[in-house]
Structure 1
């Protein structure tokens, strides 16, 4: 990868890697690595990172859900399963604008695999692992993941709130807030209900 491409990915992730090779490996599919090896080039793929990233992501999501008030094994397990589906991770990953930088094999691109949400979700897991290895700090990794999950929630709430006119009365404002949150696919893990309310009403 070119240095400017690495910089772009880091900016979109809001994380700067000390070891850029970790980022490159997380973005490298097995098919691409095999093609490089056939040409006599050394290249490591993301597969083992996906295993680590999946495990780290599970731990962070469970902790996040507990902090959000989920207090039973069943509720935590069910919600975690929804959040960690590779299709959902892939959609979030695609919204970050990093998908074009994934190094796919020629065959994968021809088959259209490069656009599948589940495949993008695998790279999301690999990136979590790369950050975890690079940071060598669970709390930094957790902040990285939580920020990514919260960003679309915050932006969605603020965008919807900005569409409201200043003449709305208190009841209308609360109704608009409720509608905005109901349309948010992450409302159950969103801690911004009061924050959104303050954004709309100006109360503190």
Structure 2
């Protein structure tokens, strides 16, 4: 038994059914399988990325893996396999559209991977995951590091203290606030401002501004 386009035929149909049974539909459900599948998917995708990007460092590989195994990403894999149509949900989840919910779809996919492992062993599970993620891994590119990370790494490479970010002001209604942040660098001494619709966005803006100035300073020191 297999889902449409799913690259494994189950010898034990009960495992397939359990993997696609949400807890709202009673027991046995896929909660325990999802626990196991989460680790299996993470490890096997990490292996694929390790092979595909031999020059990537740990941070880059971690960011790549996060793109592939996030709840939203796994939900997309589940949709490609039409798992939503195969789910067994309780009445409440059916009425609320649970078969479309990212968290439920992602959990079902992870549970299905665990079910493959229990049904046919490691090699079959590994081949299944590699088949499903081959195209996604091949087209994935290492994301550019954000401004805060690049600033921190640049300062560390020069043996300088890390920057600090201070909230200067926040204005506006709760649903439309604007945040003003100051990035403070001890050496070389710099204070750069940033503004954004969230504190994180404002910090990134301030870090980007600081990068421009600090790169020029370091270039002139050569």
Whose helix proportion is higher, 1 or 2?
Answer: 1
> Corresponding residue for 1:116?
101
Whose strand proportion is higher, 1 or 2?
Answer: 2
Alpha-carbon separation, structure 1, partners of 2:117 and 2:103: 21
Aligned length: 141
The alignment partner of 2:10 has SS state of coil
Larger radius of gyration: 2
> Corresponding residue for 2:35?
51
Contact 2:23 2:30 in 1 (8 A): yes
- For the pair 1:149 / 2:122, whether they are aligned, the reply is no
Quickly say closer, same or farther: Cα 1:51–1:60, change in 2 above 3 A. Answer: same
Alpha-carbon separation, structure 2, partners of 1:98 and 1:111: 17
> Corresponding residue for 2:49?
65
Contact 2:78 2:106 in 1 (8 A): yes
The alignment partner of 1:122 has SS state of helix
What TM-score results when the alignment is normalised by the length of structure 2?
A: 0.59
> Corresponding residue for 1:158?
none
Match of 1:19 among 12, 20, 33: 12
| Residue 117 of structure 1: how far off its partner (Å) | 2.1
Note the 1:66-145 alignment, pairs <5 A.
66-70=50-54, 71-136=56-121, 138-145=122-129
Contact 1:12 1:98 in 2 (8 A): no
Alpha-carbon separation, structure 2, partners of 1:66 and 1:12: 26
- Alignment gaps of 5+ in structure 2: 143-222
| Residue 13 of structure 1: how far off its partner (Å) | 0.8
Contact 1:86 1:119 in 2 (8 A): no
What TM-score results when the alignment is normalised by the length of structure 1?
A: 0.64
Alpha-carbon separation, structure 1, partners of 2:95 and 2:8: 31
Deviations 1:144-203 (A, max 9, x none): 01111125788xxxxxxxxxxxxxxxxxxxxxxxxxxxxxxx4339xxxxxxxxxxxxxx
Alpha-carbon separation, structure 2, partners of 1:21 and 1:27: 10
Alpha-carbon separation, structure 2, partners of 1:85 and 1:111: 23
| Residue 132 of structure 1: how far off its partner (Å) | 0.8
> Corresponding residue for 1:188?
141
- Alignment gaps of 5+ in structure 1: 1-5, 34-42, 155-185, 190-204
